Amino acid sequence: MKENWNIDRMGETPKILDGQIRDLENRILSGEFTKQDGTIDKDAISITLRTLRSIVTTAFQDLYNYLQIDIPTQLNNSNGFDILFRREMSRVNRKLREIEEQKKAGEPGKLQKPYSFVIAEIDMDYLKRINDNYGHHVGNECIANLAKIIRTTAKRLTDIKARVGGDEFYLIIPEKRSEEVIKGILEPIRDNFYEISKKIFSGRKPLHINGSYKDKIEHGSVSIGLTECPSLSKTESEVIIHVEKALYQAKAKRGTPNEKGILSGHIVAYQKDY
């Protein structure tokens, strides 16, 4: 799904379309499309209708995008994610069926590589604590920065990025293994958010209520769970259950240092023995 659509156009398109229709009506009533011999100028009408069709197509595309985009972050919303997730699962299952059919046909030399993807759930830690101690505007600033980091780190056209809740994000990275995604995408997202969040809280005082300041926060962090499909998961429900179990394991480690010695900020890949 395209992320660079113009939301401002949503309000203007109906006005433009209404004006074009009124103009067409006036031109028909004035006899503009009637030739001197009394016949209809079909070419002129066709050109006008093509313009109207283009405007209508643009309006429907904008509406389609609007229903699938999280406006504050310009990532896919939960509806958009569901649609794209089902599409990716269909690709996985279709490729698995093709490989199975090739095996049955005795054509091992033609076997294709299974289509696969890594799916990760990213959760910003302690959003309520941030909102309570610094105000919702600071929590929103953290969310906006995390979304930007996700958008600029997972930057292939095939990478799917979505915000599915207040501080919950999903990533689908096709044709990559977990190790590649962790090192190349998830660790940079985690580490960049840690550094940027330190700047957000640096020099900023917590709220002053009833004569005292609330708790000071030094930095933010994210917990991340991931799994691969289809190696460990083969159905939509299994995939989501596995990635959520991995996220739960990552969140359970909050308060303990990660591999860089930072409290919180853990990344966990799903294991069968959870």
Delimit the domains of the chain by residue range: 8-66, 80-269
Q: What is the C-alpha to C-alpha distance for residues 78 and 67, in angstroms, rounded to an integer?
A: 10
pLDDT score recorded for residue 150 = 98
Cα(162)–Cα(83) distance, rounded to whole angstroms?
A: 11
* Mean pLDDT of the 21-26 span: 80
Q: How confident is the model at residue 7 (pLDDT cuts 50, 70, 90)?
A: low
pLDDT at residue 211 in the model = 84
Q: Write out the H or E segment, with its range, that includes residue 250.
A: helix 236-252
Confidence of residue 156 (pLDDT cuts 50, 70, 90): very high
Would you state the pLDDT for residue 225?
98
What is the pairing mode between strands 222-229 and 267-269?
A: parallel
Distances (CA, A) of 43 to 29, 40, 46, 53: 17, 9, 5, 15
* DSSP 3-state of 127: helix
More confident residue, 200 or 54: 200
> 203 falls in which pLDDT band (50, 70, 90)?
confident
pLDDT of residue 8: 58
Please determine, for residue 266, whether its predicted confidence score (pLDDT) is greater than 60.
yes
Predicted confidence at residue 3, as pLDDT, reads 47
Selected residue with higher pLDDT from 212 and 8: 212
Where does residue 161 fall: left (phi above 0), alpha (psi -120 to 50 degrees), or beta otherwise? beta
Instruction: Name the residue with higher pLDDT: 51 or 125.
Output: 125
Average pLDDT over all residues of the chain? 87
User: 80-269 maps to which CATH number?
Assistant: 3.30.70.270
Tell me, what's the pLDDT at 16?
A: 74
Q: Taking Cα atoms as reference points, which of 222, 230, 223, 193 lies closest to residue 118?
A: 230
Whole-angstrom Cα distance, residue 39 to residue 75? 52
What confidence score (pLDDT) does residue 1 get?
A: 41
Percentage above 70 pLDDT, the chain: 89
Which range, 51-65, 93-107, 130-144, is most confident?
130-144
Report CA 31 to chain centroid distance, whole Å: 51
